[in-house]
Structure 1
Amino acid sequence: MVSGHLRIQNGIYQCIISYNDYNGKRKTKSISTGLVAKGNKKRAEEMLSELRRTFVPPKPERGENEFREDMLFSDFIPLWLSAIEKTVKPTTYSSYWNMAMKKILPYFEVKKLKLNEVKASHIQNFCIHELKSIGANSVKHEYVLLHKMFKYAYRMDLVVNNPVEKVDPPKIMPFEGKPFTADELQKLLDATKDDRMGLVILVTAMYGLRRSEVLGLRWRAIDFQNNLLTINHTLTEVNVKGTTELHAADSTKNKSSRRTLPLSESVKVRLLALKAQQEENRKLCGNAYNKDWLDYVFVNEVGDIIRPSYIESVFPRILKKCGLEHRRFHDLRHTCATLMNQQKVPLKQVQVYLGHSDIQTTSNIYTHLSWDDKTETLEAMEKAVKLPEFDGTKSAWDSVKMPKTS
Structure 2
Amino acid sequence: MSYVEQRGKNSFRLNVIIGYDEKGRPISERKPVKAKNKTEAKKMLAAFEAEVNSGNYLKPTEITLKQFYPKWIEYVEGNQTPATRASYIGIVDKRILPKYGHMKLSSIKAMHIFNFVNDLKKDGRRLDGKKGKLSKSTIRNCYKAFHSILQCAVDLEVIKSNPADGVKSPKLGKGKTDVYSKDEIKLMLEKLERMPLKWKLMIIFAFTVGAREGEIAALEWKHIDTKNNTVSIEQSLTDEFGLNLKDTTKTERDRKVKMPDALSALFDAYHKQKTNDKNIVSYDLGDSEEHLFIFSDLNGKPIRPDSISQWWRRFTVKNKLRHIRFHDLRHTSATFLINENVQSKIISSRLGHSNIQTTMNIYGHFLEEADEGAVEHFDNFLNKKHKEK
Relative to the length of structure 2, the TM-score reads 0.54
2:215–2:236 CA contact under 8 A, matched in 1: yes
Partner of 1:314: 311
2:297–2:303 CA contact under 8 A, matched in 1: yes
Partner of 2:281: 291
What is the rounded CA distance, in whole Å, between the counterparts of 1:348 and 1:126 in structure 2?
42
Q: Secondary structure at the match of 1:255?
A: coil
Structure 1 position 109 matched with structure 2 position 100: yes
Partner of 1:190: 190
Residue segments in structure 2 that go unaligned for 5+ positions in a row: 1-30, 33-41, 70-83, 127-131, 147-166, 284-290, 380-389
Distance 1:262 1:299, change over 3 A: same
Query: C-alpha deviations, 1:304-334, integer Å up to 9, x for none?
Result: 6433343232211211122212221111111
What is the rounded CA distance, in whole Å, between the counterparts of 1:54 and 1:233 in structure 2?
42
Distance 1:249 1:139, change over 3 A: closer
Partner of 2:152: none
Structure 1 position 127 matched with structure 2 position 121: yes
1:278–1:301 CA contact under 8 A, matched in 2: no
Partner of 1:397: none
What is the rounded CA distance, in whole Å, between the counterparts of 1:291 and 1:54 in structure 2?
35
1:215–1:235 CA contact under 8 A, matched in 2: yes
State the Cα distance separating 1:371 from its structure 2 match: 10
Query: C-alpha deviations, 1:168-195, integer Å up to 9, x for none?
Result: xx99864213111121122111211242
Distance 1:101 1:295, change over 3 A: same
Query: C-alpha deviations, 1:210-233, integer Å up to 9, x for none?
Result: 011112211111223333211123
Distance 1:291 1:107, change over 3 A: same
Partner of 1:350: 347
Q: Secondary structure at the match of 1:177?
A: coil
Alignment map for 1:216-365 (pairs within 5 Å): 216-239=218-241, 245-256=242-253, 258-282=254-278, 289=279, 291-292=281-282, 295-299=292-296, 305-365=302-362
Aligned length: 280
Partner of 1:175: 175
Partner of 2:77: none
Structure 2 counterpart of 1:255, one-letter code: E
Distance 1:378 1:64, change over 3 A: farther
What is the rounded CA distance, in whole Å, between the counterparts of 1:360 and 1:103 in structure 2?
44
Structure 1 counterpart of 2:311, one-letter code: V
Query: C-alpha deviations, 1:65-110, integer Å up to 9, x for none?
Result: 9xxxxxx9x99xx9xxxxxxxxxxxxxxx9xxx7996897457538
Q: Secondary structure at the match of 2:282?
A: helix
Distance 1:362 1:52, change over 3 A: farther
Alignment map for 1:32-47 (pairs within 5 Å): none
2:317–2:323 CA contact under 8 A, matched in 1: yes
Relative to the length of structure 1, the TM-score reads 0.52
Q: Secondary structure at the match of 2:257?
A: strand
What is the rounded CA distance, in whole Å, between the counterparts of 1:270 and 1:237 in structure 2?
27
What is the rounded CA distance, in whole Å, between the counterparts of 1:53 and 1:330 in structure 2?
48
Partner of 1:28: none
Structure 2 counterpart of 1:183, one-letter code: D
1:228–1:262 CA contact under 8 A, matched in 2: yes
What is the rounded CA distance, in whole Å, between the counterparts of 1:272 and 1:333 in structure 2?
23
Q: How well do the aligned residues superpose, as a CA RMSD in angstroms?
A: 5.2
Residue segments in structure 1 that go unaligned for 5+ positions in a row: 1-20, 23-49, 66-71, 79-93, 147-163, 165-169, 240-244, 283-288, 383-406
Structure 1 counterpart of 2:340, one-letter code: Q
2:280–2:292 CA contact under 8 A, matched in 1: no
Partner of 1:214: 216
1:187–1:322 CA contact under 8 A, matched in 2: no
Identity of aligned residues (%): 24
What is the rounded CA distance, in whole Å, between the counterparts of 1:115 and 1:220 in structure 2?
43
Distance 1:111 1:194, change over 3 A: same
2:121–2:134 CA contact under 8 A, matched in 1: no
